[in-house]
Amino acid sequence: MVRGEALSAYRALLRATQKSFAGDTLMLNASAVEVRKKFDVNRHVTSETEIQRLLEEARQASHFISTMIVQAKLNDRGGYEVKPSKEHAGATLEIPSEEIIRKSA
């Protein structure tokens, strides 16, 4: 049963990153690597309490990625556009600094 829950949590995280980072190959690849690394590090955890804590952490991360991250896209005018979906209702918008944007380019 736990294996199925872990696989479900893993897939949910990947789906959340695929939706949030659609069209951004760099972030898609980096997030997939990070999700895999987190699951691999905890592969041999046997404590039921610890497993449940890790599964809850994965569910929260999936929810956070789905509801709190919105990719800004460069438009034709050289500016960035943010198009939040209904999942983002009530979220606070944080505009990244120019330095962060330069590093990600």
**Digits of tens for pLDDT over the chain (105 positions)?**
688 899 999 999 999 999 988 888 999 999 999 999 999 999 999 999 999 999 999 999 999 998 888 777 778 888 877 776 666 556 665 666 777 767 766
Residues 68 and 66: their CA atoms lie apart, in Å, by: 6
Overall pTM > 0.75: no
Residues 32 and 40: their CA atoms lie apart, in Å, by: 12
User: What local confidence, expressed as pLDDT, does residue 102 receive?
Assistant: 73
User: What local confidence, expressed as pLDDT, does residue 80 receive?
Assistant: 77
Determine whether 19 is exposed, middle or buried from the number of CB atoms within 10 Å of its CB (0-12, 13-18, 19+): middle
